[in-house]
A and B are shown apart, each in its own frame.
Chain A
């Protein structure tokens, strides 16, 4: 395993710990595993099996839009992007801001002339992409299928050992 590098995102500190292996299929370097720990206060970090998803999908552009140089799956994107060239920015976090709702970002909104003025934030980019596809291919879609709750998570959701005691309230109210 060669340690390829970790990308620290200002604010949320999304770390891409990855091992880059030259795998033949697209003659392209990509991380085998990506550890996503931006919600680590509530959940254990998620280890995303990138290699498995590369094998499972027909085209990188199904997740990476027009950035990987493997064409464009979405016809709408293809109107502007031909997707034949690999771009410098490929990782989700390169375009999907981890914290677009910060007061600073809100007061400096995307200018009107920028077409992509409605990008989901990083957390939503992950979930919309993952759950959206998993629904189609019968992949896991439940929260805890990917996220194991920490103790703080149980406390937040009032679940597990922090679950409300049945006897404390008259049920069936």
Chain B
């Protein structure tokens, strides 16, 4: 097994901790000011075009060699499925799924494809203590399942609830999620399988910065059709996949309460002082302790025993 052993992990943590102490200020500055790789690719998802045919799900299944689905991909009864009170979500066997939402004031339901949004500053990446995750210059958030220890921090960290866990695997359960078809397509400049398969071009593939312009142009040209918002332009620091909709995003199941800043911003102030705590506090408080107890060791002991006696 090539998984990290406990000893190797502890050695790595110690080295990492030492490195962190040397560069706390740089780390803190870097977080929150990163706007994605300039040439990073992205996908503009236009929900107004989706007809819920599920071809993207089939294409993903084939491309990623995923196990057989429990229902055929042309079976639309899945849209009525409710699991634990919720609509379908991505699993270790389905990296993308389409859900149907009934929207107020329109006869047509809204379909929404769900997959990893490939954040500019991924919370999964920052939450991973074995550095399994990586944001590639092409724009994908990929992970190395060989180093994944199965802690599932990323599942909790992800604001979109995307990473799934192979619970059924007894010997080597790991995290599974959409990787933007990085290995087989993106790194060669090709669009992911779902994008290519879509009959309606719900998804447009290209450089994120170019697509963002197109997204705003579509809103400008069709102000009566679209909600004036590009979901994912600013959410959690910007995502590689972003959305246009004709219905309010919360009605299509989007979390509209997400912060505009990356998730790492919630903790970076705290993380920046960790090295200080580790290096200065022990010496400082040892000093205080020594000063405070100088020549009083007997008195302290007496007080303590006195308290104890009173207590009984």
Our pick among A101, A160, A171 for the contact of B195 (Cβ within 8 Å) is A101
Indicate with 1 or 0, residue by residue over B45-79, a CB within 8 angstroms of chain A CB atoms.
Answer: 00001010101001101100000111111110000
Contact between A143 and B200, CB atoms less than 8 A apart: no
Known: A103-B189, A103-B190, A173-B70. A156 touches B58 (CB 8 A): yes
Is A123 an interface position by the 8 A CB rule?
Answer: yes
Contact between B72 and A158, CB atoms less than 8 A apart: yes
Contacts of A171 on B, CB cut-off 8 Å? Answer: 70
Stretch at the interface among A15-23, A28-36, A83-91, A114-122: A114-122
Known: A120-B201, A128-B49, A158-B68. A101 touches B190 (CB 8 A): yes
Our pick among A117, A123, A156 for the contact of B199 (Cβ within 8 Å) is A123
Closest beta carbon of chain B to A100's beta carbon, Å: 9
CA distance A76 to B49 in the complex (A): 19
Closest beta carbon of chain B to A48's beta carbon, Å: 15
Contact between B200 and A106, CB atoms less than 8 A apart: no
Is B278 an interface position by the 8 A CB rule?
Answer: no
Our pick among B62, B69, B217, B218 for the contact of A164 (Cβ within 8 Å) is B69
Closest beta carbon of chain A to B62's beta carbon, Å: 6
Indicate with 1 or 0, residue by residue over B188-217, a CB within 8 angstroms of chain A CB atoms.
Answer: 111100011011110011110010001001
Is A3 an interface position by the 8 A CB rule?
Answer: no
Closest beta carbon of chain A to B165's beta carbon, Å: 15
Known: A109-B206, A159-B75. A131 touches B51 (CB 8 A): yes
Closest beta carbon of chain A to B147's beta carbon, Å: 30
CA distance A117 to B199 in the complex (A): 19
CA distance A112 to B200 in the complex (A): 24
In the complex, which residues 224-252 of chain B have their Cβ closer than 8 Å to any Cβ of chain A?
A: none
Of B198, B200, B206, B218, the most chain A CB neighbours within 10 A belong to B200
Contact between A103 and B188, CB atoms less than 8 A apart: yes
CA distance A127 to B50 in the complex (A): 11
Closest beta carbon of chain A to B284's beta carbon, Å: 56
In the complex, which residues 35-51 of chain A have their Cβ closer than 8 Å to any Cβ of chain B?
A: none
Chain B: CB-nearest residue to A107: B189
Contacts of A106 on B, CB cut-off 8 Å? Answer: 189, 205-206
Known A-B contacts: A127-B200, A156-B58. Give 15 more (CB < 8 A).
Answer: A103-B189, A106-B189, A118-B204, A124-B201, A135-B108, A143-B74, A157-B73, A158-B58, A158-B69, A158-B72, A159-B75, A164-B69, A164-B70, A171-B70, A173-B70
User: Mind listing 24 A-B residue pairs with CB under 8 Å?
Assistant: A101-B195, A101-B196, A102-B190, A106-B206, A118-B204, A118-B217, A121-B201, A123-B199, A124-B49, A124-B198, A124-B199, A127-B200, A128-B49, A128-B200, A131-B200, A143-B53, A156-B58, A156-B73, A157-B58, A158-B69, A159-B75, A163-B72, A164-B69, A164-B71
